[in-house]
Amino acid sequence: NKARILEYFGAEKPDWEDWKWHTRHIIRDVKTLGALIKLTDEEYQAVKFARENKIPFGITPYYLSLMDYKAGREKDYAVRAQVIPTLSYVKNMKALRNTREPSMDFMLERDTSPIEGITRRYPMIVILKPILTCPQICVYCQRNWEIEDVYSPNAALSNEKMEKAIQWIADTPEIREVLITGGDPLLLSNAVIEKILVRLSHIGHVERIRIGTRIPVTLPQRVTDSLVDVINRFHNPGKREIAVVTHFEHTYEITPQAMEAVQKFRRSGMEVYNQLVYTTYNSRKFEAAALRLKLRLIGVAPYYTFNTKGKEETDDYRVPIPRLLQEQQEEARLLPGSARTDEIVFNVPKLGKNYLRAMQHRDFISVLPDGRRVYEFHPWEKKLHLADTYIYTDVSIYNYLKRLKSLGEDTSQYRTIWYYY
């Protein structure tokens, strides 16, 4: 695929190592995509519909090279499904994008964002969003309601708004940790990244800065020596930690280039963690287990496994809670403890992370006539004072198994899923 992509764009091998070449050649339309890989009819129609209705779509040449050329989706569907939407998704996005439906802003960030660029759901942690675009868009993105386009030139916070956001952190002494995310903050220039880190490093109560980025997965060429040097300047053991949190979804994404990007951070003393979003397309038996083992070998520590957000437009991607519990008990449990360090969680609107292995954090309420299960999730502070709970209707186990069967899975191997709550 790499050779075919280079030939298509009239490029040379050295161009492949230039991250700016990749951003200049992001695949944004179905004609270019169809010339580089074979598409199914649904993939073709979904991408065409997305572009006609201005729904963000794009794939970096590097990430496209991870896909198989043929359209069968036999092995690469977990990669394709991340960036090539389903028809159901794009039609729902068209219907919902101009509304203020909670489904779009599932985490209700509008209610937990005191000023632009800041979101706070936990007492000691704050999210700083300096940019709201990425080199490609994950279909199940939590912030798809905020992102207007792929690699948008106008998606960064203005200097004035950035200064106000950082000043808010400085004026809030309870904050100990800042998660810089977006969008993908490593799309910013080295100079802008340095400016942000300088300001944060001057705030005495900030002890840890996490950089949330998919760049090692989607555009590892961006992790240059100069970028790592800029970030590492602010990693000061004993005083301040800088860590990278990335997002590998499948073993297809573990390449020599991705490993080198990770190792550049590791050689500088910075930890690299992984947050896996558990979707229909990477939830086959032992798929996540294989990923954990490979991640450890390239220097990435499994951190969280997230249940897919309960957003209407991503129904095709959502996995029932019992499947996560089954995977932890019957598959992850077989791995060495050093490889299964991730915690399975469900991000609940306003409440934040709910730890699924801890039954005391939720109640199973009922089963609806169509087989969907209903849960009540509890806030972390429930023993301290009265706080609202959250009622959640899970996706159907039966429909989930039907989707797996359509992917070629033997669903009898999942028969114990019904016994997990």
Residue 113: per-residue pLDDT:
81
Q: Is the separation of the CB atoms in 73 and 281 below 8 Å?
A: no
Residue 351: per-residue pLDDT:
81
Residue 146: per-residue pLDDT:
76
Residue 253: per-residue pLDDT:
98
Q: What is the domain partition of the chain in residue ranges?
A: 2-96, 112-355
Question: Which CATH fold topology does 112-355 show?
Answer: TIM Barrel (3.20.20)
DSSP annotation of 343? E
CA-based nearest residue to 219, from 95, 376, 62, 398: 62
Residue 110: per-residue pLDDT:
63
Backbone φ, ψ for residue 305 (5° rounding): -115, 115
Tokens representing residue 310 in the block: 């309960």
- How confident is the prediction along the chain (421 residues), in pLDDT tens digits per residue? 899 999 999 999 999 999 999 999 999 999 999 999 999 999 999 999 999 999 999 999 999 999 999 987 778 999 999 999 999 989 988 887 766 554 455 555 666 788 999 999 889 999 999 999 999 999 888 776 678 889 998 899 999 999 999 999 999 999 999 999 989 999 999 999 999 999 999 999 999 999 999 999 999 999 999 999 999 999 999 999 999 999 999 999 999 999 999 999 999 999 999 999 999 999 999 999 999 999 999 999 999 999 987 667 688 899 999 999 999 999 999 999 999 999 999 988 878 889 999 888 999 999 998 889 999 999 888 888 888 899 999 999 999 999 999 999 999 999 999 999 9
Name residue 367's beta-bridge partners.
373
Cis peptide before 183 (omega within 30 of 0): yes
pTM, full prediction: 0.94
